[in-house]
Structure 1
Amino acid sequence: MAGVSHEAIYQLKALMDQVDEPFKRTFQNVHQGYKVETLERFLKARDGSVTRAHKMLLDCLKWRLENGIDDILSKPIVPINFYRGVRDSQLIGVSGYTREGLPVFAIGVGLSSFVKASIQYYVQSHIQINEYRDRVLLPAATKKTGRYVGKCVKILDMSGLKLSALNQIKLLTAISTIDDLNYPEKTTTYYIVNVPYVFSACWKVVKPLLHERTRLKVQVLQGSGRDELLKIMDYSSLPHFCRKEGTRASRRVGNTSEDCFSLDHPFHQQLYNYMKKQSGICAPTRPLKHLEMPVADIKKAEFCRTIESELKRIQSQDELTRLYDIHISD
């Protein structure tokens, strides 16, 4: 396996075979029968170090147990109208699959407002989508393709990105830290599309702070990225914001069944119905009030401080703001 030695995988497997219940049970929910591939992911996330990967994996399992992650898919956010508000302000969805069978996750970075609920609900929703991906979507993709599918691709829509995004750094950092620590190496490529001027200015500062592994996965595409993305997926799998070029490329579409962010989209209907079935009840379920919020590491804290500083710098420069407004109105 490229990047990780067989000996390292063997050593980590031997260590994980020694864990007791309930760690063993929650580990099964992580690897879904693909233990070697899961061990490889954690080893890659820790540069092949068995000791560090073992600690990372144990910390992940402890986090899952302390926060009830194994049962999170049986805790839908209700009532449905409230959950619709969460979906309308935390734009994420699955638009289809690549030709290799990888799920295509679409994320509306620029237009997500996160104003319809507390941070706890958004974190809960994000984890539920992660778990549904790992326990339902990826196993189904593996069965359909006849080979192991353990990762996805993500398309990040930056249209509508404003300087007010600074206000959401705390939430976005919590979500990205959860992914870094507990769902490592689950994305093959991050495609960034519909980039406004403000993104270009910040990216020059942010890029050097990212780990080399992450930088190599990021591809900033021209415009909506349609032509490039059609090389790896069919048109039907493109997110709605990638299907057209121009200023209207990323607006929400009238047909909600084609808008992969909408609760009426087949992916979200299937996800919500699955969670409701798992819950076995229709009574309101409280959010995970004791969900532990992760603490960002030193590098990520530096990352956020740099973004904040750069956004404030841009915000204070009237000329850049004027150019940004002209760019959006074109």
Structure 2
Amino acid sequence: MSNSAPAAVATNDTLPGRVGNLTPEQQHALDEFKELIKAEGVFVPERHDDHYVLRFLRARKFHLGNTHKMFIDCENWRKELGVDALMDTFVFEEEDAVRKCYPRYYHNIDKAGRPIYIEHIGAIDIKTLFKITDEDRMTKQHVLSYEKLIRDRMPACSKLAGRHIEQCCTILDLKGVSLRQFANAFGFIKRTSAIAQNYYPEMMGKMYVINAPMMFTSVWGMVKPLLDEVTVKKIVILGSNYQAVLLSDIDADKLPKTLGGDCTCAELGGDCQKGEPGPWKDSRYNKSVAA
């Protein structure tokens, strides 16, 4: 009879490689990696919980050497950019003006309890954007958005769902996009994609690319090599008839009317983008919101 421990059984639909659904080998890798970073003095208890560490392990298929490099690269990057201080020191005063030429926002949750993140790529005016702000400030704002996602949005979604939520449902709207327009924005999109993949791994649960024009095939060929194969499998490319697919994963009252849902954020002044409704705005789920 084998003395090896049985593989963990998934509970509450926990996906493989997560807390509550680890094989003995994966659990051993997690324990060994945590001991390693503790011995090196880079372990930060309040930030490096098992959920966080497992995202890096999954991103590198539980290979300890590759995970270690990714993890240390991330920690060094955080120190160089001063990420931990951004929440308290960085103020993006140009936010409203930037949204007009680069519309992107969080808006409620999908049926899986994940925050919905929306970008209207076709509305990006990169020339106007960098007259209002600069790339350094945009990068810091982008990073700050991820930090708020981890510190505020995800915990609120987890509390509402009664289980750990650590991934997003992303909608990229290409309505009105041109190849020239995308080419102008490609450099910035490439850099922000690298930040997501290298320093915030395993946080995309699903991505819908909607209103994709015919020329998107060539553009997708440019973007695809920037992403790993696991990420590519999470991406769904849709044309203009996308509403039924979105509504299969998102309740109509959680989806902006401009994207085929029912929400107009009337209670927030009729601006879904500016209001950013969700459990993170509810004091029952987010302790940082005033009751």
User: Shorter-chain TM-score: which interval?
Assistant: 0.7 to 0.9
Q: Which moved more, 1:205-214 or 1:103-112?
A: 205-214
Tell me: CA distance 1:205–1:72, structure 2 relative to 1, closer, same or farther (3 Å). Answer: closer
What is the match of residue 211 of structure 2? 194
Question: Is structure 2 residue 179 aligned with structure 1 residue 167?
Answer: no
Matches within 5 A, 1:121-132: 121-132=137-148
What is the match of residue 41 of structure 1? 55
Q: d(CA) in 2 for partners of 1:68 and 1:93?
A: 24
Question: Is structure 2 residue 130 aligned with structure 1 residue 113?
Answer: no
**In percent, how many aligned pairs have the same letter?**
26
4+ runs deviating over 6 angstroms:
253-256
> Which residues of structure 2 form unaligned runs of 5+?
1-14, 282-287
1:122-155 C-alpha deviation (Å, 9 max, x unpaired): 1111111111100000011111211111111101
What is the match of residue 149 of structure 1? 165
Question: Is structure 2 residue 49 aligned with structure 1 residue 28?
Answer: no
User: Of 17, 26, 32, which aligns to 1:11?
Assistant: 32
Tell me: CA distance 1:64–1:207, structure 2 relative to 1, closer, same or farther (3 Å). Answer: closer
Report the alpha carbon displacement of residue 254 of structure 1 after superposing the two structures with TM: 11
Report the alpha carbon displacement of residue 230 of structure 1 after superposing the two structures with TM: 1.3
Report the alpha carbon displacement of residue 16 of structure 1 after superposing the two structures with TM: 2.2
1:245-270 C-alpha deviation (Å, 9 max, x unpaired): xxxxxxxx897845433x35557x96
Q: d(CA) in 2 for partners of 1:104 and 1:254?
A: 15
Tell me: CA distance 1:117–1:208, structure 2 relative to 1, closer, same or farther (3 Å). Answer: closer
Question: Is structure 2 residue 16 aligned with structure 1 residue 2?
Answer: yes
Helix, strand or coil at the partner of 1:94: strand
Question: Is structure 2 residue 91 aligned with structure 1 residue 74?
Answer: no
Matches within 5 A, 1:56-95: 56-79=70-93, 82-95=94-107
Question: Is structure 2 residue 108 aligned with structure 1 residue 96?
Answer: yes
What is the match of residue 200 of structure 2? 183
Give the conservation status (yes or no) of the 8 Å contact 1:94–1:106.
yes
Give the conservation status (yes or no) of the 8 Å contact 1:106–1:239.
no
Tell me: CA distance 1:213–1:76, structure 2 relative to 1, closer, same or farther (3 Å). Answer: same
Q: d(CA) in 1 for partners of 2:265 and 2:125?
A: 20
Helix, strand or coil at the partner of 2:169: strand
Matches within 5 A, 1:182-261: 182-204=199-221, 206-207=223-224, 210-223=227-240, 225-243=242-260, 257-261=269-273
1:183-235 C-alpha deviation (Å, 9 max, x unpaired): 00001111111112221343356546742112101111242522112112211
Give the conservation status (yes or no) of the 8 Å contact 2:102–2:124.
yes
Give the conservation status (yes or no) of the 8 Å contact 2:120–2:172.
yes
Tell me: CA distance 1:150–1:184, structure 2 relative to 1, closer, same or farther (3 Å). Answer: same
Tell me: CA distance 1:199–1:259, structure 2 relative to 1, closer, same or farther (3 Å). Answer: farther
Q: d(CA) in 2 for partners of 1:109 and 1:94?
A: 15
1:1-47 C-alpha deviation (Å, 9 max, x unpaired): 73572222222122122242xx434x633x4xxx2222221112112
Tell me: CA distance 1:130–1:159, structure 2 relative to 1, closer, same or farther (3 Å). Answer: same
Q: d(CA) in 1 for partners of 2:162 and 2:77?
A: 32
1:270-299 C-alpha deviation (Å, 9 max, x unpaired): 6xxxxxx9xxxxxxxxxxxxxxxxxxxxxx
Q: d(CA) in 1 for partners of 2:245 and 2:97?
A: 33
What is the match of residue 250 of structure 1? none
Question: TM-score, normalising length from structure 1?
Answer: 0.69
Tell me: CA distance 1:169–1:209, structure 2 relative to 1, closer, same or farther (3 Å). Answer: closer
Give the conservation status (yes or no) of the 8 Å contact 1:191–1:221.
yes
How many residue pairs end up in the alignment?
253
What is the match of residue 52 of structure 1? 66
Q: d(CA) in 2 for partners of 1:205 and 1:92?
A: 22
Q: Which structure is richer in relative contact order (CA contacts within 8 A, separation 6 or more)?
A: 1
